[in-house]
Amino acid sequence: MFFGLFQAVMLLMGWLAGSSLKDFIAGSDHWIAFGLLSLVGCKMIYESIKSESSKKETNPLNVHVLLIFSVATSIDALVVGVSFAF
């Protein structure tokens, strides 16, 4: 229920955001994409080098954990919604 609801809501939010910001970011969208991909790449490199000394156990059925996982897996739906607006 959580995951399906967040997929639908994030898609709609992305479409609304893309529709309202289309004219504002159309000239610099390639630089925004470059910056975001660079940040993700640097973060991945940093996490591969960093040593993990402690791992935390979580309950996957906890409501807070479900909400966080739902948002994390629905970010791609947000991006798809923005691309639908363009």
Whether residue 2 lies inside any domain: the answer is yes
Most confident range (mean pLDDT) of 20-29, 52-61, 63-72 is 63-72
Q: Give me the domain span that covers residue 5.
A: 1-22+74-86
Number of domains in the chain: 1
Whether residue 82 lies inside any domain: the answer is yes
Whether residue 86 lies inside any domain: the answer is yes
Residue 7's pLDDT band, with cuts at 50, 70 and 90, is very high
pLDDT at 58 over 80: no
Q: Name the residue among 80, 58, 55 with its Cα closest to residue 69.
A: 58
Under 8 Å between Cβ of 19 and 12: no
pTM over 0.85: no
> For 21-54, how does the pLDDT look when each residue is reduced to its tens digit (9 = 90+)?
888 877 887 888 899 899 999 999 998 888 776 6
Give the chain's mean pLDDT: 86
CB neighbours of residue 73 within 10 Å: 14
pLDDT at position 57 is 79
For range 55-76, the mean pLDDT:
85
